[in-house]
Structure 1
Amino acid sequence: MLIVVLIVGGSVLWRTQWIQTGHDVPAGNTSSSLLPQLDEAAHRIAGKPPRAPSTYATGLSVRAAIARGDYALADKTLRASLADSQVKGWHFNPFAAVMFYAARPGMNGFEARLDEWIKREPNSAIAYLVRALYRYDTAWQIRGTRFVNAVQPAHLRAFNEGLNRSADDVAQAMRLDGNNPYAAFLLLKILSGAGNTVEMENAFQAAIHKFPTYYPLYLQRLTTLEPKWGGSPQAMYAFVDTYAGEAAPDSPLKMLYLRLYADLLSATALVCQNAHADQHAQCIDQGMHSLVTDALEKNVYGVLEMYKPAHNAPFTIEIGGILNDMVLTRGGERYAGALLQLAAHIMGSDNQLTAPDASHNNFMMDRLSGLVWYRQRQYASAEKLYMRALADLPNTHFDSVVQKDAMRAMLYDALSHAYSQMHRYRESVIYNMAAAQVIGGRSIAGYDNLTCAGLFKLKHYDDAIHACTAQAEDSGSDEALFWRAKAYEATHRIPLALHDYRQLAESESRYRSYAAIEISVIYGHENHLTKMLQALNTYDYLYDEAHEDKMDMASAYNNRCYAEMHLGQLQQALKDCTQSLRFGSLPDAYSKQQELIKKLRTHPQSDGS
């Protein structure tokens, strides 16, 4: 039994080495909490609490009010946020940002509270809007990010049902209040789930007729014109030329040119994703050469020249988001790097790691340069540039303290990721907690999953469980659930670990295969071979050759072979061990295969009966 557990753990570790199996982790500290020390250290970095409530803190306060049934307070807070909002630049803030945080999935019984709110206040457009966004986010959480042919049919049905219910809610919200641009935007987001449709085009035209300067409407429509959603590069060009080409020289709509360039790079990367490693760069170059026109390059340069040092924060942030996507596009390094260098030159920044004078640098340019180093696994260089970006913040004129704090939190989080990759988990957790504190969030939940993951890696499992639970409640994160399951397993709270693993295994999470295999490992470890086999037969996606990772398939077949072999199902066990060796080279599978061949020669009819 020990061999099976180690082999399964080894196969997963071989594929994603940052994942440790519970059986390989030494007993951690489950008595004394590390959280007070880390919280204090984070506070020294973050400084005093925010002077004004951030959009994040406001969103969480709305969420908490709904959870305890205080719908009057939730309504009052959201109405105040709506009254303070205007279409300016590229956003409708603070309302759009507050809504994002208020309606995220994760909290048990939240939809029931929303139902109760609407029952009490059937004429509340705000209540319908919150439930519409919650249902939309929940639908996408169920569906996941896989290609549609890889999504389990039941999840796809639930996704479509969720989008339909969300669309009904936003339609009712718009009937009750037709003057909220965010409602029109949310309708387009919901319709985007079906791609480039006539219904989407009609909704878009109606939306821009009423809110012609609201940039997210155009951005959402452009997304549905990508080839993967049923559009084409020609349709994308025509769209951008129509709306950005005819816009005033200083219009936010001009940003569509840069977005188009980034989307064409993304579409090219998708086409080239299966290209051989030594041909991948050539594939990207050929695709971009055929798609990007001289006119587009000229217009992209024109967008970057819109930068004005006196009021540069919104522009910098918007540019940063697009360039960030390009840096993260596999194979797009050359194109992202060229635009990053051009943007830095226009903004007066020196992107060099050893810049002789970085005193006038733009924080976003240094952050993105750090991300480039991070992607190249040069984490110490990334750390240096992230620290320099923090020092750059005074060079930027922010619209508010809240906006500046949001960027500071983003940089602390970037440092947290760099420290995690360098296995400096204590510093990773501290900076992640500091990021949460800066924006008025819960320190224990952290800014993202690195607080709970870091605590697990520090072997403070009880602290990790508390942090992961808080993060899961605040964001609905499946990664938080994953690390909590591992912490439960490491502290031998097996029923709780199985509960979380099952939730992951039954989802479209990227952790589902690991979870399904680990369930079988746990049952095998406890010698519950029938349950082990049942689990491996339940999650049939483990054997989907078209979409599953080959080493996961090797592990699943190997484990099933083991269970069948010890349950006396020798013929089927031999088939599964042979299949395991098709997808991987697990020594345990080969050993069992040889043993089974010998046994079947002696007992050729043995099938467990």
Structure 2
Amino acid sequence: MTLKTIHSLLLSCFLLGLYLPSALAQVYKWVDEDGVVHFSDKPPVEQPKETDSPSNQSKHISESRAAERLVSKSTRWFQSMSQSQGITLTIRQLLRQRKYEYLNIVLEDLQSASELSYDKELELFTAYKAFRLDSNAYISLLDEWITYDPSQYYGYLAKAEYFYGAAWRARGTKAIKDTSADQLTNMKEVMLEAKEQLELVQNLFADSMVSYGLQIAMANSLGDESEVAIIAKKALEIKPASYYVRAIYLRTLTPRWGGSFEKMELFFKESSEFIRDNPKLTQLQGLIFLEAGQLASLQKRYDQAESIFDRALLYGDNDEVLANRGKSRYRQGKYQEALDDLNRAIGMSREYGEYYHWRGKIYSAMKQYSNSLSDFERAAQLMPNDKDLKQHRQRIETLLAKQSEGKAVAFKRSKALDQLDDAIKKEPSNALHYYSRSLAYIELKQYDSAVEDLKKAITHNPHEYQYYLSMDWLLIKRRDWKQIIYYWDIYLNLYPKDHQAYLERSGAYFHQGNIQAAARDAKMSAKLGNKEALAFYEELKQKL
């Protein structure tokens, strides 16, 4: 409905309101309490209406103001935290802390902002992608959130995102020819769970672009080409200039998904009529070149891929294109140019752990190990269970440990500490800064200071396994088995299925002399699949 139409309707209603009293003032008809019908040129005497008492009115005003304060407080908090650590980590923090009302308010704000401006779509899609969590520990929190207020759609949509991520973990990321039938079956089963959540979303809020985008991606993953087109058509009827819905649909038309460059070009031409409403749609043309460049990279034609990515960027700066060009340059040994690309990509979007992972690899190739470790730590916060990332982190940590023994110096010590001190002053609740400073203290053999910083790191982010492992290493020097057990207790309360953590705590119990507790933890670790723990448990059984 146009603004002009709305104004016309309001004017009509206003004139109708002026006309009706005079037109109907001639005769009144009413029925009294005894059932007798009356006619008169005067209106009947009305009974007094019930009104809220002053105390009730005061109560309503108080409740309204309290709700407004909560909205204002949550919005300010989210803006502050997301500027500091990004949207993804802030959303996950709210979920871990069970701040469900905050989540509802924040997601409603992001939805409203995206409806007012296409420029705000990215923040909304990013917020929901944060729920693609690689941990079963979060499913109970999502259920609890939904139970908190089942009339709101946000929790259902978040749970659908979670299941979508879980479905791809069940499938794996290899080509279809290298994917087993069981993996595909598992993926389909989990996708059905996501679909159930999206049906609930549609019942509560049928115009969610995030929901439509997810439906398109799911139908494409299941190979349902006709369903993909139907869903995309519905979504674009609601919001035709949505860049992110169009980008998601465009990816279903790629050669790797059974489409073609011709189909991609045709869809871009159809989309171009909306560029005036949303200039970002120009970048859809760049995504076609992105696909071509990625295909060249898969064939290890990295120089050609780099040239194709150059062409993609002619249609506008795009963080994904920049990151892919950076990868191609890295593979050609062009480390400084690769670093420049990843810096730009991260400057545009700091929400993707993959970007930090790749920049960390580039820093490692340039022998800037402290920068490399810092990026690996950031990547681990965004994708905590990535196996390749864990291996790269361990390698860098080993290099830094060797350097601290005198083979080399990874940090310019005083300068590094000064920089970290400044960083902590600016972001006193950033766990990564405390962890990084603890590593610097370890290099200086200032172990007590390192312990204190690790305590703060764990306080601000109790979910990082490496913090506990470093604390374990430091406390072993003190032979403080009680404290080691205390910190592993904290971690295992959060992640009760981490087999390596049980093995670490088992070792602490063993050195403490508590063989029974050591055996219990070793047995649990073995039960969860740790072969090293099984051998240790067999040894401990002989001592019981």
Distance 1:207 1:327 in 2: 33
Instruction: Decide whether aligned partners of structure 1 residues 372 and 64 sit closer, same or farther in structure 2, where only a CA change above 3 A counts.
Output: closer
The answer as to whether partners of 2:88 and 2:130 remain within 8 angstroms in 1 is yes
Question: Partner of 2:254 in structure 1?
Answer: 226
- 2:213 is the counterpart of 1:213: no
Aligned match for 1:423, one of 396, 400, 415: 400
Distance 1:383 1:260 in 2: 37
Residue deviations 1:95-145, cap 9 Å, x none?
44443445735364x545645665675543223222222322333333343
AA matched with 2:211 = A
Question: Partner of 1:200 in structure 2?
Answer: 228
Counterparts of residues 121-520 of structure 1 (less than 5 Å): 121-148=149-176, 150=178, 154-195=182-223, 197-243=225-271, 247-248=275-276, 251-270=279-298, 272=299, 280=300, 283-284=301-302, 298=311, 300-304=313-317, 319-328=318-327, 333=332, 364=347, 374-375=361-362, 377-381=364-368, 420=397, 422-423=399-400, 437-438=429-430, 443-444=457-458, 445=461, 451=467, 465=488, 481=498, 484=501, 487-488=504-505, 491=508, 493=518, 496=521, 499=524, 519=531
Q: Sequence identity of aligned pairs in percent? A: 14
**With CA pairs under 8 Å and 6+ residues apart, which has the higher RCO, 1 or 2?**
1
The answer as to whether partners of 2:232 and 2:245 remain within 8 angstroms in 1 is yes
More helix by share: 2
SS of 2:121's partner is strand
How far apart are 1:163 and its partner, in Å? 0.9
Residue deviations 1:306-332, cap 9 Å, x none?
xxxxxxxxxxxxx33432234235985
Question: Partner of 2:436 in structure 1?
Answer: none
Distance 1:154 1:494 in 2: 36
Distance 1:440 1:375 in 2: 20
Most deviating of 178-187 and 456-465? 456-465
Residue deviations 1:443-480, cap 9 Å, x none?
4237966545655776866588478658869xxxx9xx
SS of 1:52's partner is helix
How far apart are 1:166 and its partner, in Å? 0.9
Distance 1:215 1:57 in 2: 24
Structure 2 unaligned spans of 5+: 1-76, 383-388, 405-409, 434-455, 477-483, 511-517, 540-544
AA matched with 1:229 = W
Distance 1:370 1:168 in 2: 34
AA matched with 1:135 = F
Aligned match for 1:106, one of 129, 135, 157: 135
Find the structure with the greater CA-based Rg: 2
Instruction: Decide whether aligned partners of structure 1 residues 82 and 370 sit closer, same or farther in structure 2, where only a CA change above 3 A counts.
Output: closer
AA matched with 1:252 = K
How far apart are 1:362 and its partner, in Å? 11
> How many residues are paired up?
388
The answer as to whether partners of 1:114 and 1:131 remain within 8 angstroms in 2 is yes
Structure 1 unaligned spans of 5+: 1-48, 273-279, 305-318, 345-350, 352-360, 390-405, 506-517, 529-609
Aligned CA-pair RMSD? 5.5
Distance 2:141 2:360 in 1: 45
How far apart are 1:187 and its partner, in Å? 2.2
Instruction: Decide whether aligned partners of structure 1 residues 297 and 80 sit closer, same or farther in structure 2, where only a CA change above 3 A counts.
Output: closer
Question: Partner of 1:591 in structure 2?
Answer: none
Distance 1:65 1:386 in 2: 28
Distance 2:80 2:335 in 1: 36
- 2:109 is the counterpart of 1:92: no
Q: With the length of structure 2 as denominator, give the TM-score of the two structures.
A: 0.53
Question: Partner of 2:54 in structure 1?
Answer: none
Question: Partner of 1:59 in structure 2?
Answer: 91
How far apart are 1:154 and its partner, in Å? 4.8
Q: With the length of structure 1 as denominator, give the TM-score of the two structures.
A: 0.49
Residue deviations 1:28-76, cap 9 Å, x none?
xxxxxxxxxxxxxxxxxxxxx998232356524541465xxx7556544
SS of 2:293's partner is helix
AA matched with 1:63 = L
SS of 2:241's partner is coil
How far apart are 1:90 and its partner, in Å? 5.6
Most deviating of 157-166 and 445-454? 445-454
The answer as to whether partners of 1:417 and 1:450 remain within 8 angstroms in 2 is no
